[in-house]
Each structure stands twice: as C-alpha cells, then as structure tokens.
Amino acid sequence: MNETTSRFCPHCGNSVHTDSLFCPACGKELPEYTPNAGTNKGQWIMEDQYKQKISPPSPPKPDLSRSPVKDGVLWSWLKLRSSRQQFHSESEPTITDEEYMKKLDQKLKDNHVPATIERRIVQWDESALQKLMWFIIPHADVINPMSYVLLFNHVGNFTFVEEKTFVTPPNLPEKPGVKKPLPSDNGITKTLLGIVLFIAGIIMIDEGFGAPLIIVGIVLALIGGMSWVKYGEVHSYNESVELKQKQWNDAWDSWYSDRLYASFQEDVNGELSRIFDSVFSCIKQVNDDLFNDKQHMHEESERASINDMEELFHKHRDQMEEYK
C-alpha cells in the first residue's frame, strides 16, 4: 500500500500534512510521524487506515455561552505594543508559520529561555470572530497581566514577522442591567383599608350593609396584596441590579488598578519583561538565520501610553454598560 502525504491529528481528527508540526485546527503540537504506526493515542496512522478504524470527531470549539470575557478572549483596543519586520526575497517564500514557530521554539530551548510557543483559539472582543493564533507563554511564578501574540505571514514575495502585546481583559461578571421604576402604589393603604372594612362588616353583619362591607374589604385587601407583591418584586429586582452593578464596578476597578497598571510596570522592570526581551532576541536570531540572504525591507513599532490606555478604558467601559 502506498503511503499518502495526508494524515489525521490524533487529538482532534483534522486532516493534516505529514510534515506539519502543529495541527491547524486545534493548535496542538503533533507527535513525530512514524510510518505504519498503530492506532494508539499520540501516534500517526495512514489516512486510509484511519478512515477504516476511527471516525474523526469534529474539532473542538470554544464555549461561547459563558460571560463574553473569559479565557481565550482578546480585546483589540487593549493592544499595548506591536512591532513588524518585513523581508523581501526574489522568489515566493515557502517556509510555513508552523516551521517558523518550531524553529523559534527550538531557539528558545537552545538559549534556555523559560518560554514556549502555543497555538490557541482566540475570540476577538465580544463578537463571534475566532481565529487560531500563536502565543508566547512565559514560565514564571508571577501573575502575567499580558498576552503576547506572534504572527508569521507571506504576501507574494514578502514575509512579515509581527509581535503584538495585549493587556489581558478583565474577567467580568454578568452585566448589571437597568433598574425598573417602583410602582407609585405599594398596596399598603388598600390592604389596611380592606382589613378595616372587613372587620367593620363583621361587626355590623346583622345590619343590612355588613355583607357589602365584607365584600368590598376582601376586594380591597386582595388588590392591595397584589400591588404589594408587584412592588416587592420590582424592589428585589432593583436590589439585585445594585448588587450586580457593584460586582461589575469592583471587577473593572480591580482590573484597572491591578492588571492595567501592572502591565505597564511589569513591562518596564519586572521578571516577565526580561523573559520577553529574551524571547524577542530569539526571534531576531531566527530571522537572521532564515532571512540573512534576503532584503530587510521595513521595520516599525508602536507602543501605547498609560494615558492613552486610561482614556480608552473609560470610553469602552461606558460603552459596555450602555449595551445591557
């Protein structure tokens, strides 16, 4: 039987090339290809063998039913900094992003840098837009307030290597909603009047108007009771809105004081900044190895200031509260 060049990912079942280092569907690193391997998990098998013995499952998708801000979510406006390098070659480049990331991962190991490269599914902002992207994952005991994304793309004979740093979004609770106006009548007056009329009717039951008083009293008491129940429901709802509003504000304020400022402080003088400076040096080494015979066309970088980020923080926080 002739071997094909197409294999299936042992993690999610997606069809991939035998030379692939990472699965384009689930982003997991693939085990080394072993011809005629068995069907044990973590091994490669022939495509026709796979089809005969295993029905490949659908690739996993992130759960979008939870809070819109969760793991795997990035907010485009929280971009802290970015840099881009552009290279030109005489012929169309053939190196893939998987091959590039594999070389970078090996360069990190060679230089003993405590970081790895992972591919993850990202959901952008509060939309349903999802994309597989490469992340730089630091190995440190400190809390990481940032997400580092690495992009590798070709456009014709041009190659782009981009690094983007995002402040990790807050883990927000359920949106608080809007308070309802309280009913003008809480029903207490009608209820008390109904009770008084009912008692008066009982006292004057032997007289001709005792029974009507009892009926009117019962009706007023029922109307007042229903008004009180409705008033209580609205009051309880408004109390829950106030509690959710406090939790919402506390989450924003905590993220603002701890994570947003920490991302600027850590980026300047913290342990993570040293790790990522080492990673970026490794990226430069890989670029020099791969593109040393190619023309370095362009390099640009940009960095957000804390004042710009504060302005965006207040703007987007207000916008998110408007759309409840």
Range with lowest mean pLDDT among 65-79, 105-119, 185-199, 307-321: 65-79
Tokens of 179: 């308070």
pLDDT higher at 276 or 144? 276
Q: Is the pLDDT of residue 108 over 90?
A: yes
Cross-strand pairs, 148:
136, 165
Q: How confident is the model at residue 111 (pLDDT cuts 50, 70, 90)?
A: very high
DSSP class of residue 179 equals P
Distance, C-alpha 228 to centroid of its chain: 43
Looking from the CA of 256 toward its CB, the CA atoms found within 13 Å total: 15
Q: Is the pLDDT of residue 174 over 70?
A: yes
Of 49, 53, 48, 41, nearest to 12 (Cα)?
41
pLDDT-above-70 percentage for the chain:
66
Q: In this structure, are residues 238 and 182 in contact, taking their beta carbons and an 8 Å threshold?
A: yes
Q: In this structure, are residues 152 and 301 in contact, taking their beta carbons and an 8 Å threshold?
A: no
Cα 305 to Cα 41, 142, 222: the distances in Å are 48, 23, 63
Q: Is 314 exposed, middle or buried (0-12, 13-18, 19+ CB in 10 A)?
A: exposed
Q: What is the pTM of this model?
A: 0.55
DSSP string spanning 205-264?
TTSTTHHHHHHHHHHHHHHHHHHHHHHHHHHHHHHHHHHHHHHHHHHHHHIIIIIIHHHH
pLDDT, position 57: 43
DSSP string spanning 38-93?
-SSTT----HHHHHHH--PPPPP----SS-SS-TTEE-GGGEEEEEEEEEE-SS--
Quick one: average pLDDT of 151-156? 89
Q: How confident is the model at residue 74 (pLDDT cuts 50, 70, 90)?
A: confident
Handedness of CA 289, 290, 292, 293 (dihedral sign): positive
Cross-strand pairs, 250:
none
Who's near 120: CB < 8 A, 6+ residues apart?
27, 72, 132, 133, 135
d(CA 248, CA 89) in angstroms, rounded, equals 51
pLDDT higher at 122 or 292? 122
Max distance between CA atoms of the chain, in angstroms, equals 114
Cα 189 to Cα 87, 183, 200, 202, 234: the distances in Å are 81, 14, 16, 20, 18
Q: Is the pLDDT of residue 223 over 80?
A: yes
pLDDT, position 10: 72
Q: Is the pLDDT of residue 178 over 70?
A: yes
Q: Is the pLDDT of residue 199 over 70?
A: yes
Cross-strand pairs, 135:
118, 149
pLDDT higher at 117 or 46? 117
pLDDT higher at 259 or 1? 259
Q: How confident is the model at residue 233 (pLDDT cuts 50, 70, 90)?
A: very high
What is the end-to-end Cα distance of the chain in Å, rounded? Answer: 60
Q: How confident is the model at residue 107 (pLDDT cuts 50, 70, 90)?
A: very high
Q: Is the pLDDT of residue 59 over 50?
A: no
Quick one: average pLDDT of 255-274? 67
Quick one: average pLDDT of 80-88? 84
Quick one: average pLDDT of 108-122? 90
pLDDT higher at 324 or 270? 270
Quick one: average pLDDT of 129-133? 82
Of 252, 312, 266, 322, nearest to 77 (Cα)?
312
Q: What are phi and psi of 113, to 5 degrees?
A: -90, 125
pLDDT higher at 58 or 181? 181
Quick one: average pLDDT of 262-279? 72
- pLDDT tens-digit profile of 42-53? 333 333 443 343
